[in-house]
Chains A and B, each alone.
Chain A
Amino acid sequence: MKRPKSVLRETPWQGQEFPNIEDDTVGFTFDPLRPIPHDSLLKMAKFLWEWGQEKDSHVRLCGEEGVDTSHDFFVRLLSKNGWLDDTNIDMGLYLVRERQKRYPNLVGSDWTIVDTLFQKYAAIDLKHMRLYGGKDDRPHSRALVKMVNGELHKWSKPWMSVKKVFLPYNCVRQKHWVTLALDLTTCEIFVYDSKLDLCRTQTLIKALQPVAKLIPMLLKEAGYVGGCPLRTTEWPVNRVTDVPQQVGGSNVKLVQLCADAIHLFRLKLAIDLLQGCCSI
């Protein structure tokens, strides 16, 4: 039997004009813990409930550059402690990049962020490396080179113009997301992990070794020229230990604050995505 065609749904905010304040942000501050307006929450709840009643429909997030998402996308995003998949993460990072582009004076401009495709393409690239017998002079994935040159993702910046690059990394065995920060001035990789007890430091460093080897080769191929001499061998990986923890940490207040904030961030992300623009 032929599957019914998925229908495109409009969000309550679609077609709505938002005030353009990007030219004048004097007096504005970026507050990630700013409360969400009550009417926005109600509007979203009503929309998601109605959407849940209707099968085979999707919503296009963030215009043509975004993705078509199903109701499940928001169920994952808004379930307390629910797992996030790469689509959730990528759409969140899309808004982070947009925020940086629109409000560089509020969030800083000496960094950039790439999405989950980096890890996937790096894995494919590393498989090729084995096929090439580990030769360093083989061509790398075009997508990875484009990422380094800031040509792949909308709102992204060339790595040459920044000091740090952040990227999400999925520890596949542990099913856990961590953030990698590539420091382009010291040529080191820092790992920010909200569940330190899930994976031993040595195991994590070993898992990241292929990426640490790939980065200098990729920068070379992309023609990267930085302000500091580039380390041409494997970059050292350091695990940052003083980061807020999701659960099981010794500081209960910190854990509670972190958990509440995460739920707020998820709600904000859902509303921003449905509105089609980033909030500050």
Chain B
Amino acid sequence: MSRGRSDEDTVKLKVRYNEDGVQTLFRVKRNIKLQKLMEAFCKKRSLDPRSMQFTFDGVGLKKNKTPEELGMVDGDEIDALVHVGGA
């Protein structure tokens, strides 16, 4: 019996970091909270999660939402944007 996740349960998502344009590919469960993906991306890229904003098609992503709830499909791209500030 295969212990791996089947393709139906998972979705391949790309996370693009706006500072360098580099895309990181994640294969995640459709019902997993996006907070996990955000944390994994920040850890991989050594970023402070508090300094990042994640958007999908221009809409801010809520941490407690899942790819399934947002109707995400293979190849969808999430933007990881660095917060900016100023006077």
Contacts and interface: CB of A to CB of B under 8 A. Distances in A.
A121 B87 CA distance: 22
B83 A87 contact: yes
A123 B18 contact: yes
Contacts of B81: 117, 120
A175 interface: yes
A170 B84 contact: yes
A143 B57 contact: yes
Interface in B28-87: 50, 53, 55, 57-60, 62-63, 79, 81, 83-87
Closest A-B pairs by Cβ, 4 of them? A143-B58, A85-B85, A175-B86, A83-B85
A102 interface: no
Interface of B: 16, 18, 21, 50, 53, 55, 57-60, 62-63, 79, 81, 83-87
Interface residues of A, number: 34
Contacts of A124: 16, 18, 21, 79
Interface in A105-126: 116-117, 120-121, 123-124
Contacts, number: 64
Contact of B58 (A76, A84, A86, A121): A121
Interface of A: 67-68, 70, 72, 76, 81, 83-87, 116-117, 120-121, 123-124, 127, 141-144, 146-147, 152, 170-172, 174-177, 195, 246
A8 to B, nearest CB: 10
A152 B53 contact: no
A141 B85 CA distance: 23
10 contacts: A70-B50, A81-B87, A85-B84, A86-B84, A120-B79, A123-B18, A141-B58, A143-B55, A176-B87, A177-B86
